Structure 1
């Protein structure tokens, strides 16, 4: 379901230029492994699929079929194979079965290890990376509220145990939309922990986005997000520097259980697009365009405005370069710097409300002479109505929408 390790290396073993990638869990299951379904995926700007989920064929034959289909549509695959738990000889055979396939992104190792299982996950990741250093070994980790001493103990032990040089992403899952219109109280704190660790170790970060509702014994525990909530989920992750959004899940999961059930997701269990598909497609397209710039930026500072602060958040300092003129507006402000120069600055602004559109006014620091916005349609900088005399500008934001500005 999320925390990943991606090492996107070509067959030569040399690192590729970093890419902003969008991934999904639960691809079309075995009975729907068709060109039509994979075309729908491709049209929604998906880059990578994790070949795991109910109905997905995850043995050798099933993985190879998925890899072949993905190759035809320009997608990459994380192979999941039960041999990962059957010892070194079986793992060696597994790697040999897939390593030459051009659509292989990596190997799915394990899901959400707790503290007791962490060393086993480290050992498996290191083994698979040694057997195939040109691909990723993927482990999904728990959120901060599920593990004691999460940042300084658990995740630090993970990164240093595996070796930061063997990680391309540090990722996690923490689904924000609870029942009764609540937002997970650790949502921003968890994002900031991952942001800080990514910067400390020089590892890109990845996070799961919620595309499901979940019920236990008929009681709603996670609500199915609407388009505005999906938008906030996506842009709040980008504001914290996430370089690989991973949607969970894509295909509606049918579980034969009276206890745990899922709402319809992006594609229903019959292979039909739900009302979430178009928002999913639009948001992915916008994130991909911003990702052309964001992939080379570091989120150095993240602040929140408004009357009420969430766990792990802080107001911007008085001398911050970008001021929201309405002090009551609930906004996320992130300052990014370009990794190549560390001097070129960018500001991302996110409307933190997933219920209301906002017209926001800003005052920019006196040292800034020009402001441009990175277009979500083209990925290129465009002019904005910035007044250099008053150092102000205005913009309208949809619920949950983010905008990325370059400062000159």
Structure 2
């Protein structure tokens, strides 16, 4: 059977994506991304120093005021390289001819700050095939770089079959598992009137299962904005405790690439849609979000040194009432909770290359601190916590005689333990 050059590139793309030119397997990294970087008028050292100091790894070069032609992307790549960041370029030529797409890739592929190509956002069922065809075209031209598509959550997809077994399955089959660095989606949890999006944990669970099934790292958006239509609040601007819960619940479900939306304050979007301020306001000044954003990113990066090697095998919830897609831990689970009313997430992680087990405990409540006593299986003799400051194992308050681990958790806080 004869294959075209493009087809052969696509077939080889997944393999080449996992290996460097020297034949050494690329090292997996836990990476933190942002949407809506500083716009063209603020493309300067000060703003990119804020990004670096905020523990950001990847800039998606898309958003209000961002220049998405060749000149704008190259200027962003140069500035990012100067500050040790990577860029996913988004170029208007992606929607043009194959020759223009090839031209686009050739303009960027050798740049040292190129992390990948931002293909499209939130394709629905009707757009899925065309979106994956575009992804494969770009991947065939530059197999070593990521081609990124961000998906809608389950409630936004009109499907006769399920989101998990129809829409996401079809996406992976159309794109080709080897062409995907991440399975990415967004679902912003903090609704108006202090409500939490009812599908929040169910979507995290679906993405966790699909990521494990196909062995694809998962990516999810973190909410850093409030949204208003004609002045009416639809999504609330989260507080620090809510941001913390958003972060650690994502980590508990195995997310390997958290993406903050947005970073720059897009307060004027046209029409009746408006956003609240985010990390940096529209004049380039840090807001009250910047410091918790920086600190949470620092904690994620330290835990990420370990989490990048782990699979979230089992995720359970405790408390009086359970959310859609959540279940209580069975009697034989490695960890049980004294206080049955405590609102917690319990995740058993396993190392990808060994039998080593880890436990993450997250305070699901974003309103109150909780003292927590975890009763561990009798087989557990030693427990250490992975430090959110250094990323190294440190002593944990574990009583080996009674097999109890006792900690107090801030609202939304999570802790990762290694079990021996």
The number of residue pairs the alignment matches comes to 402
Q: Deviations over 1:351-407 (max 9, x none)?
A: 000010111111111000001100000000001121111111210111000000010
Q: Does 1:265 align with 2:275?
A: no
Partner of 1:161: 174
Q: Does 1:326 align with 2:365?
A: no
8 Å contact kept, 1:330–1:352? yes
Offset at residue 255 of structure 1 (A) = 2.7
8 Å contact kept, 1:13–1:134? no
Offset at residue 10 of structure 1 (A) = 5.0
8 Å contact kept, 1:8–1:136? no
Cα distance change of structure 1 residues 196 and 215 upon mapping to structure 2, 3 Å threshold: same
**Pairing partner for 2:365 from 325, 350, 353:** 353
Partner of 2:378: 366
**Pairing partner for 1:36 from 39, 46, 49:** 46
* Matched ranges for 1:229-244 at <5 A: 229-244=242-257
Q: Does 1:215 align with 2:228?
A: yes
CA distance in structure 1 between the partners assigned to 2:57 and 2:25 by the alignment = 18
Partner of 2:31: 21
**Pairing partner for 1:246 from 259, 268, 282:** 259
**Pairing partner for 1:72 from 55, 73, 82:** 82
Structure 1 residues 141-150 or 200-209, which shifts more?
141-150
CA root-mean-square deviation: 1.3
Q: Does 1:385 align with 2:397?
A: yes
Cα distance change of structure 1 residues 11 and 229 upon mapping to structure 2, 3 Å threshold: farther
Q: Which runs of 5+ in 2 are unaligned?
A: 1-13
Q: Deviations over 1:86-130 (max 9, x none)?
A: 021110000010001000011111111110110001100111000
Q: Does 1:206 align with 2:219?
A: yes
Q: Does 1:228 align with 2:247?
A: no
Larger RCO of the pair (alpha carbons < 8 Å, separation 6+): 1
Cα distance change of structure 1 residues 138 and 11 upon mapping to structure 2, 3 Å threshold: farther
* Matched ranges for 1:267-306 at <5 A: 267-306=280-319
Q: Deviations over 1:244-290 (max 9, x none)?
A: 00000000014352410000111100001110111100000000000
8 Å contact kept, 1:78–1:105? yes
Offset at residue 9 of structure 1 (A) = 6.5
8 Å contact kept, 2:267–2:277? no
8 Å contact kept, 2:147–2:181? no
8 Å contact kept, 2:347–2:361? yes
Offset at residue 163 of structure 1 (A) = 1.1
8 Å contact kept, 1:8–1:135? no
Partner of 2:71: 61
CA distance in structure 2 between the partners assigned to 1:108 and 1:344 by the alignment = 35
Q: Which runs of 5+ in 1 are unaligned?
A: none
TM-score when scaled to structure 2? 0.94
CA distance in structure 1 between the partners assigned to 2:315 and 2:18 by the alignment = 28
8 Å contact kept, 2:64–2:269? no
